[in-house]
Amino acid sequence: MKFDFNLWDIHIGTPHPFNDRAPVIDNGTARPTGARYHDKAFAAAEWEKVFARSWLVACPVSDVREPGDFAKFDIGPESFIIVHGDDGQIHAHYNVCPHRGSQIVQADTGSVGKFTCPFHSWQFSLEGENLAVTDPETFRPEVLCHDHNMTSVRCEVAAGLVFISMDPHIEPLKQWLAPVLEHLELYEIDKMNVVQHRQSDWGSNWKGGVDAFAEIYHLHAVHPQTQCLMDDRTQIDLYPGGISRQFVPFAQPSRRYDDQESVNPGIAMMLQDAGIDPASYNGTAHETRAAVQQAKRERSEKYGLGYEKFSDTQLSDSTVYGLFPNAQIGCHPEAVFLHRFVPHATDPNQFTYDTCILYRHIDAPGYCAPAWMGLGNEIDLTGRTRPDIVHTGLGEPPGLGEVLDQDSDLLPIVQAGARSRGFRGPLWSEQEARLRHFHVELDKRMAQGDDA
């Protein structure tokens, strides 16, 4: 393995500008202290300086397609309502009644004509304007002179995702997202629908989640069953603003896997998924990735799926984007994995892992969500029904499939060690360059004065 990832070429097939490397960013070699993972004061500062001043992925556009559609977005101590207004715009409000503070909606998603507070039935328009104060004559006029609309926050849409920011002065979303915006737009996430949505509470700091999902160095140790079909030779790109990208080659054994030739069951599944019969396949395991790319292209040509815009790598691999601070999107032409690492309201030793699969339904023979996504047969892939969010509490097996369950078992173990006075801070390799990039951006934000 090469220390400099620029010496590594993981791409096969036709050269494509999408695969071009980002200019090198040198994030140094420092070892930060472990306090960032467990210190309460650090977590409090992080909330004020990072979360309250960033763009945060709130929900996919598909959850708020029509006027009246809303989605609740909870993070840390806050809850927001994202709603498609009667004015055709997407709005975001604190999920807080201006009267006594009660939360207004409790459902994860829904569709309403207006909002009604459950406490005293005050009513608000989708845009957050007060429609009715119950018994207004019992308020002194001076009381109702105080603003009694909902409190709204910045809300912008890009690449099929709705972002919110608690910072009214934040730069436009598309300006911050610019380095990868065109990449993400290729996947037309706005045409996808949620087919699975899970939330699981884990005994770890949210950055422990970001860290684990931003590197594949741990695959051989934590997920050995993936070694036969997923390579850990990877390309990492770092962009300004803490944003990053990584290609994880699928349908190709890891270099740590002994047998690079035989078509193992994992490789067979990948072949089958691309419409190739593994029994009659003549290539080696290592050649499968190219075969998968080829087969997907042929399928696209046959059914007009429009894959011309994708590089070969994008067809076979997981193309993963890290969006600062707490989101990661694993992109495939058929579907995307949206992961969010949601900090706990008060405890730096807990976070909620939120994972959402968005699928683009195309009614063509052989076309479906990748088998390795593990979507059950009972799932409606057409997008007509929005599945409920399944929530599992701390210590419960999340039931997210073998790989994610392994991560959920491990993260509390890492957190327990990171809290120790014997831990002198993380040592990041270049395989973990995205982690360092994330933490360096975090530190930059944390170093800003309170007046920044």
Partner 1 sequence: MNYDPRSWAVHKDSKHPFDAPAPLVDNGSARPDPSRYTSPAFAEAEWEKVFTQTWLFAGPSSDVRESGDWMRFDIGVESFIIVRTDDGALAAHYNVCPHRGSRLVMDDVGSQGSFSCPFHSWKFDLDGSNLAVTDPETFRPEVLCHDIDLSSVRVEEEAGLVFISMTDDVPPLKDHLGTILPMLETYEIDKMHVVQHRRSDWAANWKGGIDAFYESYHLHAIHPQTMGMLDDRTHIDLYENGMSRQFVPFGQPNSHFPDQEGINPGIAVMLEDAGLDAAAFQGTAYESRSAIAMAKRDRAAKLGLDYNKFSDAQLTDATIFGIFPNAQIGCHPEAVFLHRFKPHGDDPNQFTYETTIMYRHIDVPGYGAPLWMGLGDDVDLTGATRPDVVHTGLGVPPGMGEVLDQDSDLLPIVQAGALSRGFRGPLWGEQEARLRHFHVHLDKWMADAS
Q: Which residues bind partner 1 (CB under 8 A)?
A: 1-3, 29, 31, 34, 37, 211, 217-218, 220-222, 349, 410, 413-431
Query: What's the min distance (Å) between Cβ of 249 and partner 1?
Result: 16
Query: What's the min distance (Å) between Cβ of 210 and partner 1?
Result: 12
Q: In the complex with partner 1, which residue's Cβ is closer, 22 or 35? A: 35
Distance from C-alpha of 353 to C-alpha of 10, rounded to nearest angstrom = 30
Q: In the complex with partner 1, which residue's Cβ is closer, 19 or 431? A: 431
Compute and round to an integer the Cα radius of gyration of the chain: 23
Instruction: Please name every residue paired with 245 in a beta bridge, in sequence order, or none if there are none.
Output: 237, 321
DSSP-assigned letters across all residues of 81-100? EEEE-TTS-EEEEES--TTT
Burial of 69 from C-beta contacts in 10 A (0-12 / 13-18 / 19+)? buried
Query: What's the min distance (Å) between Cβ of 202 and partner 1?
Result: 14
Q: In the complex with partner 1, which residue's Cβ is closer, 329 or 410? A: 410
The token pair at 110 is: 């829904």
Q: Are strands 193-202 and 390-392 parallel, antiparallel or unpaired?
A: parallel
Q: In the complex with partner 1, which residue's Cβ is closer, 1 or 144? A: 1
Q: CA-CA distances (angstroms) from residue 315 to 113, 131, 182, 245?
A: 41, 50, 17, 16
Query: What's the min distance (Å) between Cβ of 214 and partner 1?
Result: 12
Q: What are phi and psi of 26, to 5 degrees?
A: -95, 110
Tokens 């791409």 locate to 11
The token pair at 116 is: 């009604």
Query: What's the min distance (Å) between Cβ of 91 and partner 1?
Result: 39
Distance from C-alpha of 84 to C-alpha of 87, rounded to nearest angstrom = 8
Instruction: Please name every residue paired with 267 in a beta bridge, in sequence order, or none if there are none.
Output: none
Query: What's the min distance (Å) between Cβ of 417 and partner 1?
Result: 4
Peptide bond into 398 cis (omega under 30): no
Q: In the complex with partner 1, which residue's Cβ is closer, 65 or 419? A: 419
Q: In the complex with partner 1, which residue's Cβ is closer, 28 or 304? A: 28
Query: What's the min distance (Å) between Cβ of 44 and partner 1?
Result: 16
Q: Which helix (H) or strand (E) holds 46?
A: helix 40-49
- Which residue type occupies 11? H
Q: In the complex with partner 1, which residue's Cβ is closer, 113 or 417? A: 417
Peptide bond into 325 cis (omega under 30): yes
Q: In the complex with partner 1, which residue's Cβ is closer, 85 or 412? A: 412
Query: What's the min distance (Å) between Cβ of 90 and partner 1?
Result: 38
Distance from C-alpha of 340 to C-alpha of 326, rounded to nearest angstrom = 6
